[in-house]
Amino acid sequence: MDPKKGTLPMMIAAALLIPIGAGATPANSDPEHTTPASDAVAAVVNAAAHGYFTAAPQGVGLSVGVLVDGRSYTFNYGGVTRGSTTAPTSKSIYRIASITKTFTGTLLAQAVVNKKASLGDDVRDYLPGSYPNLAYEGQPICLGDLVDHVSGLPFNLPDVAGNRPPFEPMTPDTRKMLAHYTRQDFLSDLHHVVLTRKPGVSFSYSNAAAVLAAIVLERIYGKSYDDLVKARIAEPLGMVDTTNRLSRSQRGRILTGYDETGVVSAQSSLLIGAGDLYSTVDDMLHYARWQMDGTDDAVRLSQRPRFSPMEKYSVGLNWQMIHSGEHRRIWQEGEVPGFASMCMMFPDLKLAVVVFANELDRKSAAALSAMAEQIASGLDPAASQTKP
């Protein structure tokens, strides 16, 4: 997923790879902890946040949420914009990048539990028109292949230079095309995909697969992806700011996202179901609590290992997982221009860490992952037993 990470688990962590470099900025801190019992948690998070800005001085804003033994805490640092002395809050809105994919996987799991679909269904049964190309040697792409990165579909559609690794600089014409790319364009380009191996047998990270899964879900339910997220996940969990269609008042709480040069980043391409959701730390703590609860049939299905490319490591329905000894780590991280995110859960330890940042370059991406790791292991040393 992210070749710059090095190891396979980290390679499958981000929504987009983009050219990145260096910058410069501040770090004021505004921890939102209110009870004496949270002081130990605050000490761990504050130290990790200091480490983030030390490793990535070009970082801008940072929001952190943790669940510890059923109690939630939020912390915010830096500025809402570059140079600002106003810190974000737990209700500041960020793009959550590839964490979006876990919503898509959970929605598909709900469709399976409700017997509206099966993970083994031929994806072509849910598409308008004929797609004989979405099979290789008689083996079709199945619905489940779309949410565990074994479909064989390209990294992105359109599959053009600048929109796939190694992400060469885009031409003005490519930027213009991506800015106006629609679902219909996606389905048209899908006709021209050429599979080079059987689906279901080899890992290859694909945003296009997640987009296709979202389109399939819209056809299964007859509703937009955003309406599905709201009705089936966000509203039942009290997640009031998780959407890809922000209201006017919500737009006033979106943090500005910056690239490595300090320039405001612009989102391009179609990322429905793959990286287009917005959320807050408050909302994501509700989501993490639900995902760790273990009582929902669809959640359990989404966390069931489906593909295991290495010992102890597996992929569920867009969740990455490590099973090591008595403990499990379940996580997804992501990157889109200007934003980085992480949702990391340890159900057996009753621990979760959520982190959002509104600046993205190589240093800050690595620093965000290191910070989340430091927080988790600082709050419970057993978390380090499941390191990727």
**pLDDT per position as a tens digit, 217-275:** 999 999 999 999 999 999 999 999 999 999 999 999 999 999 888 887 666 678 999 99
Look up the domain containing 59 and give its range. 3-386
Predicted confidence band of residue 30 (pLDDT cuts 50, 70, 90):
very low
The per-residue pLDDT of the chain, averaged, comes to 89
Please spell the DSSP secondary structure of 231-297, one letter per residue: IIIIHHHT-TT-BSS--HHHHTTBPPPB-TTSPBP---S--TTTT--EE-HHHHHHHHHHHHH---H
Provide the token pair at 71.
């109690």
Q: What is the pLDDT of residue 169?
A: 82
Q: What is the pLDDT of residue 162?
A: 86
Region 30-44 average pLDDT: 64
Q: In this structure, are residues 11 and 24 in contact, taking their beta carbons and an 8 Å threshold?
A: no
Q: What is the pLDDT of residue 268?
A: 63
What is the domain count for the chain?
Answer: 1
Q: What is the pLDDT of residue 39?
A: 84
To the question of pTM greater than 0.75 for the whole model, the response is yes
Tell me, what CATH number does 194's domain have?
3.40.710.10
Provide the token pair at 141.
């792409």
**131-157, pLDDT tens digit by residue?**
999 999 999 999 999 999 999 999 999
